[in-house]
Amino acid sequence: MILILLLVLPATAQEPTPSDDEVNAIAKQLYCPVCENTPLDVCPTKACAQWRETIRLKLADGWSAEEIKQYFVEQYGDRVLATPPARGLNWIVYIFPPLALALGVYLLARTMRSWSSEGEMQDVPSVDADDPYIARIEEELRKRT
């Protein structure tokens, strides 16, 4: 049955070399130098179609993905990369978020510690004491378990 189907079904398209998928795999990692925040593989402008053709030609010439990306950076600047290269001022891009988070963790830990020491002095009601309905459910469940 499958064999018959294979015979009946039409042939796969003739792929250009390199294929669209190979071109898009690289274009995906680049951003359109003209349109704002549009990856090159999905940018519908004519300019981008030409840039994809450039990628195809470079691939056919045996260039690697890294070489092609580097070529685009040299031609149009760092903005064609999805993330800025980690050098110079750009280091801050990558350092700032973890630093900010670490600072947040430190501040939170310090605050919690200071509140805990105050908290030991007094007792705090447990469970949603101001919601009698929930308290009752919790109590019921405790009895059951």
Partner 1 sequence: MIPNVGYFASVFAFGVALYAAVAAWYGSRKGKLAWVESARRAMVLTWPLTSISVLALIILLVTGRYEIYYVASVTSNSMPTYLKITALWGGQSGSLLFWSWLMAAFASAAGLRKWDRDREFLPWVALVTMATLAFFLSLTVFFENPFARIWQTASGEQVYALFQPADALLFVPYDGLGLNPLLRHPGMIIHPPMLYLGFVSFVIPYAFAIAALQTGRSDDRWIRITRRWTLVAWIFLTLGLILGGRWAYDVLGWGGYWGWDPVEISALMPWLAGTAFLHSVVVQEKRGMLKHWNMVLVILTYALVILGTFFTRSGLLSSVHAFAESAIGPMFLAFISIMSAASLFLLIKRWDELKGDEQLRSVLSRESLFLINNLLFMGILVVCLWGVIFPLISELITGTKLTIGEPFYELAVGPLLAGLLLLMAIAPSSTYGRTSWRRLVFAIRIPFLLSLLAPSIFIIRGIFTWYALLGYWLATFAALTTLSEFCRGAWARRQRHGESLLSALGKLIVRNRRRYGGYLVHLGVVLLVVGIMGIEMFQTETQGTLALGEQITIGRYVLIYDDLQHYPQEDVRLNTRATLSVYRHGKLVDEVNPRVDYYYDARQSMTIPGLRSTLLNDLYVILWEWESNGLEAATFKVYHNPLVNFMWLGGVVFILGTVVAAWPSHASLGGRRSMLRKLERQP
Binding site for partner 1 (CB under 8 A): 1-2, 5-6, 9-13, 15-16, 19-21, 24, 31, 36-37, 39, 42, 44, 77-84, 88-90, 92-93, 96-97, 100-101, 104-105, 108, 111-112, 115-116, 118-134, 136-138, 140-141, 144-145
User: What type of residue sits at position 11?
Assistant: A
Q: How far is the CB of 54 from partner 1 (least distance, A)?
A: 17
Q: How far is the CB of 1 from partner 1 (least distance, A)?
A: 8
Residue 61 or 120: which CB sits closer to partner 1? Answer: 120
The Cα–Cα gap between 122 and 128 comes to 18
Of 60 and 93, nearer to partner 1 (C-beta) is 93
Nearer to partner 1, 62 or 142 (CB): 142
97 vs 61: CA distance, rounded Å: 40
Q: How far apart are CA 142 and CA 7, in angstroms?
A: 68
Give the nearest distance from C-beta 46 to partner 1 in angstroms: 10
38 exposed, middle or buried (CB, 10 Å; 0-12, 13-18, 19+)?
middle
Q: Do 47 and 5 touch, CB atoms closer than 8 A?
A: no
- Comparing CB distances to partner 1, the nearer of 70 and 83 is 83
**Beta carbons within 8 Å of 37's beta carbon, 6+ residues apart:** 31
Q: How far is the CB of 84 from partner 1 (least distance, A)?
A: 5
